[in-house]
Amino acid sequence: MCDTMVALGNSTKDGSVLFAKNSDRQPNEPHIVIRVPRKAHEKGSRVKCTYIEIDQAPVTYEVLLLKPSWIWGCEMGCNEFGLNIGNEAVFTREKYGKDSLTGMDMVRIALERCKTSDEALHMIIDLLGQYGQGGNCGFEKKFTYHNSFLIADKTSAWVLETAGQYWAAERVEDVRSISNCLTIGSRFDLGHPELVKHAVDRGWCRGEKDFHFARCYSDRLITRFSGSKQRLAASTAGLQREKGNITVNTMKNILRSHDSRLEDRLFTGSSLKSICMHGGFLYGDHTTGSYIASLNQKNCTYWVTGSSTPCISIFKPLWLIENEDFTFSEDEEAQAVGYWKERERFFRMVLENRIADLDAYLEERDKLEREFQERVDTLDLKGSKHSDLLGIMRYAMDREKELINRTVESNKNNPASVKGNPYFKHYWKKQNSRLGE
C-alpha cells in the first residue's frame, strides 16, 4: 500500500515541480537507496529483471532507485534528466498474470531509457503490451496486483492506470495524487484501444456514455479494505488546500500524516487509512521509505529519509553529483541494507516505548530539517560548486547520525513494552525478533 503525489509548477510556491511518495511494504523488507551510472551495452545484450529477461537498450541513463532490496526494479526513483516515476498496487477485475514484468520493473526500465514524462508514459504502455505484468511482489508472503504510475518531469506529469493489459492515462493539470485504487473515471486523455469495448463485453457498462474506468475495472472489495480511498482523499485535500503555495514542507507533512483516529496512539495501533502507515494490521503494511523530489531547470534536489516511518525519520538533501556518500551501488547491497536496518532499530525502540522523551527528539529533528532547508534555499544551485553541495549532504548525514545515536544510547537500557491490542503486540514482537535474521 502506498501513496504518490505531484504538484506542477503552477501550484508550487517557487514554480518547481514537486513529486513525493511513501513506499508501504512488509515491515522487515529493507528499502534501499541505489544509484546506477549511465552505461553503454553491447548490441543484442539482455537484461534480467525480477522474473524475466528482456532486450537491453544500447544506453541506459543514470538512475536513483529507491527499492525493496530483493527486487530488480524500484518503487520510486529518478534519472539524470529529472524524470521521476512512482508506482502503486491497484486491485482490479482482470486476472493477475504469470511471472513477467512487475510494476517496479517497468518504473526502472522507463527511468533508464526515457528523458521525459511523455516518453516514459509510452515506454510503460509498450512494455505492458509486449510483456504483460505479473509476478509476486511480496517479501515474506505472496502479494500480486496490477499497477498505476505517476510520471513527472520538470514541466509535466501523467497518471497511468492499468488493469491487466488494459490501461487509461490522464495528463496532470496542476496537482494530483494516486493510491491503491483506480482513480481515472470517464474523462482521460489516452486509453487502450479495446478499453471500453472490453468493459461492455464483460457487462460492466452499456457503452461509451456510461463508461467509467475505475467503476468498471476495480475490484471493489479489496480496494475498499485497502484504505486507499481515505488516503487518496487526505493527500488530495492537503494539496488542494495549499495549491499555489505548495512547498517541500507541504509534501513532508502529507507523507507524515495519519488516520485521525490514531493521532493520540500512533505506536499502539495501526490503520490502512494512514498515509504514514505503521503496520500491525492484518495486511501488515508499513511505510519503509519516503522520498520528495524538487524539480526545476536549475537543478533537482531530492529529499530522502533512507529509513522507514517518516513521522519520526529525517529527510536529508541529495544531489546526483560525484563523490556523494548517501547512495550505494548495486554491488553494495549489503551495506545499503545495513544502513536501513540501523535506522530501523531506532524505530523499533520507539515502537517498544523505550524512548523516554520522543517529543524532545522530534523537536530536534524538526530543527535539523529547518536548518537543512535553509542551507539549500541559500544556494544558487546551478552555480554552486560540488564541494558546497557535498558539504551540505555530509553535514545533514552527520547530524542525523549524531541525533539518532545519542537518542539510542541514552535510552538503550529502558525496558521494552509494545502496547496496543493483543494482535498488534503479537505482530510487532514477532517482527522485532525477526528483524536481525
Catalytic residue list: 2
Give which of 421, 404, 257, 426 is closest to 316, Cα–Cα.
404
CA distances for 250 relative to 6, 18, 65, 147, angstroms: 11, 10, 23, 26
The DSSP code for 364 is: H
Give the separation between CA 199 and CA 93, rounded to whole angstroms.
Answer: 10
Q: Is 67 exposed, middle or buried (0-12, 13-18, 19+ CB in 10 A)?
A: buried
Cα pseudo-dihedral 257, 262, 267, 269, rounded to 10: -130
Give the separation between CA 21 and CA 85, rounded to whole angstroms.
Answer: 9
Give the separation between CA 121 and CA 107, rounded to whole angstroms.
Answer: 10
Give which of 241, 238, 285, 277 is closest to 259, Cα–Cα.
277
Longest dimension (CA), the chain: 66
Cα pseudo-dihedral 80, 103, 294, 234, rounded to 10: 180
Element (H, E) at 262: none
Q: Is the Cβ–Cβ distance between 130 and 138 less than 8 Å?
A: no
Give the separation between CA 31 and CA 34, rounded to whole angstroms.
Answer: 10
Amino acid residing at 257: S
For 32, phi then psi, to 5°, come to: -110, 160
Residue the block writes with cell 524524470: 83
Cell reading at 10: 503552477
Residue the block writes with cell 545499503: 336
